[in-house]
Structure 1
Amino acid sequence: MPVTTASLLTLLGAFVTTTLGHGYVTEYVADGAKEPGFLLQYYYDKKNGMSVPPLAAWYAENLDSGFVAPDAYQTADINCHKNSAPGSLTTTVKAGAKVTFQWGTAAGGAWPHPYGPIIDYIAACDGDCSKADKTKLKWVKIQATGIDAATKQWASAKLIADNNSWTTTIPASIAPGNYVLRHEIIALHGGGSLNGAQNYPQCFNIAITGSGTAKPAGTLGTALYKNTDPGIHYSPYGTNTDYPMPGPALFTG
């Protein structure tokens, strides 16, 4: 069978997966206030009996800075990463304000995967988000960026160009309350294979303030994606101008 350019690029993407470090949110700025993310060292500090700072960022065991694969979409891990648990604190952010996420990698370099969308969700907590049950959270998509048809630049490439950072806006119409903010990169360098996409969900407890009234219905994490979705089982190589964004409809209120 002849080897095509597309197949070579897919193989290269798979090779890159094994040779470059993956990443996580090291810190974020919510409505102007800088907050720490859940650092990988905190897992080992906790296991060794050392103190770990209280955080609004969720605990997760992505110890290799790794990802959630498409064949795990129907497990609880897709919500906020592997074996995730709520943070003990909550960050206050006004409806209509911006949140900027700073990504880092285990190797300390730039985010290594320039192909893929970035999506943000919120889910209302039934009370204190530190006691949230991730399997019952219903996610509302508030931002989704794929590929710019004019420049051919993916959201992930824009993140890299912006010093590994991404900014999203909390919709001004959202009703006040406690929410989990879910920020996610979907890396597609291996997406030409059925289970080759890589999801990097990161979660944070936020208290939204303001005078909004919108309380949109959400989607359970295990119903967000399927491994056969056109935007998941997707090769980013070649001419791509109309990317089919995965997940539920975007909230535009």
Structure 2
Amino acid sequence: MLTYLAKCPGSSCTGVNANSLSWFKIDQSGLISGTVGNGVWGSGLMIQQNNSWTSTIPSTVPAGAYLIRFETIALHSMPAQFYPECAQLQITGGGTREPTSSELVKFPGAYKASDPGVTVDLYTQQAQTQTQYIIPGPPLYGSGLTPTQPSQPPASTAAPPASSPPVQTVAPSPGTVNQYGQCGGIGYSGPTGCVAPFTCNKVNDYYSQCL
């Protein structure tokens, strides 16, 4: 599950060629827990939520006219299947942080047929023990990651179902997990302490995040 933005050069995106724009990723969710061959995925979470997905636009994104690209990548077939949809939107208020050059990509061109997140085979013996999946495309906007580092979705990546408990916040504690990093969840065995001033927030049973 991936969400991109691209700023249009004028006051509107009407008539703009999307191929000429530079896109940056604001949201993503890949393998949440378990293994590649038998795990919990962002797409599964989307299905659980009545086939709906919510992405939050970071408050640091500058105001302006944008195209938004929402995309699902299906890995059950080889090669992978891509299902994008686009729409226009106007961001008001906004911040001042422009995406960096490493965060910007073009469509087509953002993915290669050889990307590990595209060539992964869910049905191999290796997939039954593999616990890391590298989401295709550039690093998340504002994440500070390189394109080859795996990362997890930012806060409010997926809106919880109406029956889910409210998001819980764990008291701050010294730690090593940076902002937007995973700090908890079922099946997670990594560090749980967030660097100051961030705290570990429960997004769902399988994923908690430093915010």
* TM-score normalised by length of structure 2: 0.59
**Where does residue 163 of structure 1 map in the other structure?**
50
Bigger helix fraction = 1
2:84 equivalent in structure 1: 201
How many residues are aligned here? 132
Matched with 1:119 is: 2
For 2:60, the equivalent position in structure 1 comes to 173
CA distance in 1 between partners of 2:64 and 2:15 (Å): 15
Post-superposition CA distance 1:145-196 (Å, at most 9, x none): 1011259211111111110001110011001000000000000001xx3xx2
Among 112, 122, 142, the alignment partner of 1:252 is 142
Letter in 1 for 2:56: T
CA contact (8 A) 1:148 1:241 kept: no
Instruction: Name the structure 1 match of 2:22.
Output: 138
Q: 1:240 to 1:156 in 2, by over 3 A?
A: farther
Alpha carbons 2:25, 2:141 under 8 Å: kept? yes
- 1:219–1:248 CA contact under 8 A, matched in 2: yes
Match of 1:66 in 2: none
Separation in 2 of the partners of 1:226 and 1:200?
A: 16
SS of match in other structure, 2:83: strand
Paired position in structure 2 for 1:69: none
Q: Which runs of structure 2 are paired with 1:1-253 in the superposition (5 Å)? A: 118-127=1-10, 128-149=12-33, 152-190=39-77, 193=78, 196-217=79-100, 218-237=104-123, 238-252=128-142
Question: 2:9 aligns to what SS in structure 1?
Answer: coil
Q: Residue 69 of structure 2 contacts residue 85 of structure 2 at CA under 8 Å; is this kept in 1?
A: yes
**SS at structure 2 position matched to 1:170:** coil
Distance 1:142 1:236 in 2: 26
Per-residue Cα deviation, 1:48-104 (whole angstroms, up to 9, x for no partner): xxxxxxxxxxxxxxxxxxxxxxxxxxxxxxxxxxxxxxxxxxxxxxxxxxxxxxxxx
Name the amino acid aligned to 2:46: L
Question: Which aligned segments of 4 or more residues in structure 1 are displaced greater than 6 angstroms?
Answer: none
Please, which runs of 5 or more residues in structure 1 have no aligned partner? Answer: 1-117
Please give the TM-score of this superposition, normalised by the length of structure 1.
Answer: 0.50
Between the aligned partners of 1:181 and 1:211, the Cα distance in structure 2 is 15
2:176: which partner in 1? none
Secondary structure in 2 aligned to 1:167? coil
State the structure with bigger RCO (CA 8 A, min sep 6), 1 or 2: 1
